[in-house]
Chain A
Amino acid sequence: MAEMKATRDAYGETLVELGRENPDIVVLDADLSSSTRTSLFAKEFPERFFNVGIAEANMMGIAAGLAHSGKIVFASTFAVFATGRAYDQIRQSIVYPGFNVKIAASHAGITVGEDGATHQALEDIALMRALPGMTVLVPCDARQTRLAVRAAAAYQGPVYIRLGRAKVPQVYPDDAGFEIGKGLVLWPEPEVPGGYKTVLAENRRFDVAFVGCGITVGLALEAARTLEQDGISCLVADMASVKPIDEELLAKIARSSGAIIACEEHSVIGGLGSAVCEVTARSHPVRVVRLGVNDQFGESGPAGALLEKYGFTSERYCQVARGLVGR
């Protein structure tokens, strides 16, 4: 059984590391610091932590003002409030001027669980991806989260980092790399970021390619293992950098695969699946099936039960793949 850890936990721990390394790191939260785990940073660096209260719009503006004066600002709350309630502030105060603000939002997707639809962000990737110049990162496990958060801190400009509430299995070994703008091939052989040439240079054909981000990456890997036993050849790529997306890798996948299954814990409208379609339609049209939440709101329930109900299982992914291959 793989080690289980929530991406939000890795975020909180990484913030503390960054805080020790760089005095310009400043963290903001809107009364959810114990849930987003920014409380860890608050405890060690109280003078560089600002809890602005339940006022997300104001938080984004304050973040912009701090970044304007040279701070590297991480602003956290739940994804639904960060991207929905404060969309205009993110657009006008942060992204238009290109300020160095990292919006690290937790509790994205249906794995929020019992709090229900009001708290389950299923449109946040679409909203953030549409902003010119915004970088969108969706890490799949704790180790990748640490690398993504560090990459975001090192990058000059606005970044959206999508984090989850639920404990998720570790997908990557310790030494996995991460690079903004690069996808990672995990199956049939794991590769370093941007190092997908080995798998894709041999003119190998894959019956199905899974392209995922966040919790779906682990599900796709499980599905690939099962499908390979049935003689269906698979490729699994992690598109943790949803924007900028790795167009080179996607084009290679499109050329070498019978079909692409794009999977994400997000609406099928506007997220990773849409990004995959946008790239492949231009580079190499291939059949793309988008798996996610079908244009509907979530609901209350235990995270596991919701995943099952909304089709986030490796069995469902296998079923869709078999349907595409005709077996």
Chain B
Amino acid sequence: MLRVCRWLVVLLTVGLVIDTGVVSAQDEEQSVFGTLTYTDPETNDRVPVEGGLITVEGVGSAPSEADGSFRIGLPEPGEYVVSIDPEGLPEGVFLDDPDRAVLTVNVQEGGNQIVLFRLTVLDEADRGSTSGGITGRRVAQLTAEGLKQGLYLAMAAIGLSMIFGTTGLTNFAHAELVTFGMLGTYFFNFYGLAGVIGFLAPLPPPFGDGMNLVFAAVFGMLAGGTLGWAINRFIFRGARRSGVSLLAQMLMTIGLSILLRYIFLYVFRGGPRTFGQFTAQRAVKIGPIELTPKDMIAMSLAIIILILVGVFLQLTRTGKAMRAVSDNRELAESTGINVERVISTVWVSGAALAALGGTFFGLTQIRWDFGFRNLLLLFAAVVLGGLGTAYGALLGALIVGLAINLSTIVIDAELKNMVALLVMVVILLVRPQGILGRPERIG
């Protein structure tokens, strides 16, 4: 059984390797490019920045043109460190996130890599991430950001909580399923179905040569579901059958998590990436809130999907069976529910949801270790809501998303993820079963 899944891993790796090979056969000049603009808070117009100095380490530097654009040619593909000189910006214009003055980009052979330096206009009083003070506008904006993060997080957390509910397993590899969705979508976005089935390469998109992000997201979700199915079928079903204890299974998920993460790194390399479409969108103002259209669409989609999940759990036979197994496995089994099938469904749907959540997160940035960096938030959400409850995970994720974003009013943004730990410790002290959990679960 394990031999099969090792083969899967090898096949996966080889498949990806072959495909990137196809692309790198072209031989073109590569570059990094971008546009420096900011929104004038009074007129709401985009204003280009001329003369902002962009430097590529080891290559050279160039100022931005009159329309704010810059382009720096690169001798060969690889990882480059691109930086902007914050001193050279016009009076009152600052980097949106001062930590992102230096970026690492991965440039493919013949690729033109976009580099984003987001600029904002701040009053002297607003400078720095914590000294902004509590303004109604800031609270509204942070609430929107928190809601966004909470919704995406919920998509990942529901699967984690349901897997725990049905099998008792705390799946530490769940964060890797989020990354897998993100990377899978990226892969389909750039290489299309030909990435998996080689002979499709000469066909037009969406079969060969990359597909639109919307289709890629669907395929990324399918790939995520397939991985979830395979993990359950080839690794954990056998472990359950031969009576491997839950603690040992938990260690197995840790091993799996590390293995998957470093396969991602091996195949996709380090350095952040972005999808092929919808990268540089302008934020739209709605009242006091600024959000990009892609985030608005993704958030609406997330809400619709989460409602559908609720309807599915509440009304369909499979959904009811899932909740029944979560509640009491033995009782469910004795009423004739096929528990193994329910578990398999939970893995597939949980992983697919996590993958889609990963794609949504990926609209901002794609990283090989994204999931692991957010593991803390994922677990905080699930523990807060109550391990094993789907609705608890949803509620917990929204609270965690809001809490960490709103916390930046009082603490440094760099430390905001620590708030999740605090939330978790407090809930364990006050109500260890979580908001929607029941006391007997905590043993």
User: Does A pair with B?
Assistant: no
**Chain B: residues with CB nearer than 8 A to chain A?**
none
